[in-house]
A and B are shown apart, each in its own frame.
Chain A
Amino acid sequence: MRRVEGRNRYFDEMWSETGEPRSSYRQLRGAMDELGDGVLEARHRLAQQLFLRQGITYLLYETETSVERTLPFDLIPRIIDGAEWTTLERGLIQRVYALNEFLKDIYGDQKIIADRIISREDVYSAPGYCLAMQGIQVPQRVHTVLSGVDVIRDQTGGYRVLEDNLRVPSGISYVFKNRTMMKRVFPEGFQSYHVTPLEPFLQRMAEAFAFCSPRKSAHPTVVLLTPGMYNSAYYDHSFLAQSLGIELVEGRDLTVVDRVVYMRTTEGLRRVDVIYRRIDDDWLDPLAFEKDSLIGVPGLFDAYRAGNVGLVNPWGNGVADDKWIYAFVPDFIRYYLGEEPILDNVETYLLGRKADREYVFSHLEQMVVKPTHASGGYGIVFGVQATKSERTLLQERIMADPRGFIAQPLIHLSRHPALCEGGTRPCPIDLRPFVVFGEEPRVLSGGLTRVALGKDSLVVNSSQGGGVKDTWIVQEWGDYERAESAGGIDLLDGALS
Chain B
Amino acid sequence: MSAIYRVTHQTRYFYEGSARDLVNEVRLSPGDFPGQSVRSHRVVTDPVTSLHSTRDAFGNRVVTMYFRGALESLMIGADSVIAVSKAAPQESKLAPFSKETFADPAFRDQHFLYLMPTHLCQHAPALRDWICADWTESSDTLSFLQRVTEKVYRFFDYRPGSTSVETTTADLVALRAGVCQDYAHWMLSVLRMMGIPCRYVSGYLFSDQTEQGTAYVGAQAMHAWVDVLVGPDTWMGFDPTNCCRVGHQHIYVAVGRDYRDIAPIRGVFKGKQRSMTLDLKIREQGAVGVQ
Interface residues of A (CB under 8 A from B): 113, 119-121, 124-125, 131-135, 255-259, 286-288, 291, 298-299, 302, 305-306
Contacts and interface: CB of A to CB of B under 8 A. Distances in A.
B268 A124 contact: no
A287 B266 contact: yes
A302 to B, nearest CB: 5
Contact of B50 (A113, A131, A133, A258): A258
Contact of B25 (A124, A133, A288): A288
B64 to A, nearest CB: 5
Contacts of A299: 23, 64, 66, 268
Interface of B: 21, 23, 25, 50, 52, 54, 56-57, 64, 66, 68, 108-110, 112-113, 116, 261, 266-268
Nearest to B115: A121
Contact of A257 (B68, B112, B268): B68
Greatest chain A CB density within 10 A among B23, B266, B268 is at B23
Contacts of A121: 108-109, 112, 116
Given A120-B112, A135-B57, A288-B25, A255 B52 contact: no
A286 B268 contact: yes
A258 B110 contact: no
B23 A124 contact: no
A302 B57 CA distance: 13
A287 B25 contact: yes
Nearest to B57: A134
Nearest to B67: A257
Contacts of A255: 21, 68
The 8 lowest CB-CB distance pairs between A and B, nearest first, are: A298-B268, A134-B57, A299-B23, A120-B112, A298-B23, A287-B268, A302-B64, A121-B112
Contacts of B64: 259, 299, 302
A291 B268 contact: yes
A305 B54 contact: yes
Nearest to B108: A121
A293 B254 CA distance: 26
A124 B266 contact: no
Given A120-B112, A120-B113, A259-B64, A287 B57 contact: no
Contacts of A302: 23, 25, 52, 54, 64
A236 B101 CA distance: 53
Nearest to A288: B25
B66 A306 contact: no
B56 A132 contact: yes
B126 to A, nearest CB: 15
Contacts of B112: 119-121, 124
Contacts of A306: 52, 54
Contacts of B52: 258-259, 302, 306
29 contacts: A119-B109, A120-B110, A120-B112, A120-B113, A121-B108, A121-B112, A124-B112, A124-B113, A131-B261, A133-B57, A135-B57, A255-B68, A256-B66, A258-B66, A259-B66, A287-B23, A287-B267, A287-B268, A298-B21, A298-B23, A298-B268, A299-B23, A299-B64, A302-B25, A302-B52, A302-B54, A305-B54, A306-B52, A306-B54
A298 B57 CA distance: 19
A133 B56 CA distance: 9
B116 A125 contact: yes
A292 B204 CA distance: 29
A255 B269 CA distance: 11
Given A120-B113, A306-B52, A306-B54, 19 more contacts: A113-B109, A120-B112, A121-B109, A121-B112, A124-B116, A125-B116, A131-B113, A131-B261, A132-B56, A256-B23, A259-B52, A259-B66, A286-B268, A287-B23, A287-B268, A288-B266, A299-B64, A299-B268, A302-B23
- Name, among B56, B66, B113, the residue most crowded by chain A CB atoms within 10 Å (CB to CB): B66
Contacts of A256: 23, 66
Contacts of B25: 287-288, 302
Nearest to B54: A305
Nearest to A113: B109
Most buried by B among A125, A135, A256, A299: A299
Nearest to B110: A120
Contacts of B56: 132
B49 to A, nearest CB: 8
A328 to B, nearest CB: 15
A345 B6 CA distance: 59
A291 B266 contact: yes
A120 B114 CA distance: 11
A253 to B, nearest CB: 13
A65 B261 CA distance: 32
A408 B25 CA distance: 44
B176 to A, nearest CB: 26
A147 B261 CA distance: 29
Nearest to A260: B66
Contact of B66 (A133, A257, A288): A257
A233 to B, nearest CB: 26
Nearest to B118: A131
Contacts of B268: 286-287, 291, 298-299
Contacts of A134: 57
Contacts of B50: 258
B272 to A, nearest CB: 15
A287 B267 CA distance: 6
Nearest to A114: B110
Given A125-B116, A258-B50, A287-B266, A120 B57 contact: no
A403 to B, nearest CB: 11
Nearest to A120: B112
A287 B109 CA distance: 30
A256 B24 CA distance: 12
A259 B25 CA distance: 12
A316 to B, nearest CB: 11
Contacts of A287: 23, 25, 266-268
Nearest to A136: B57
| Residue from B50, B52, B116 whose CB has the most chain A CB atoms within 10 Å | B52
A131 B23 CA distance: 21
Contacts of B21: 255, 298
Nearest to A301: B25
A283 to B, nearest CB: 13
Contacts of B66: 256-259, 299
A306 B55 CA distance: 11
Contacts of B108: 121
A448 B48 CA distance: 53
A116 to B, nearest CB: 9
Contacts of B266: 287-288, 291
Nearest to A123: B112
A171 B49 CA distance: 43
A131 B116 contact: no
Nearest to B55: A135
B170 to A, nearest CB: 15
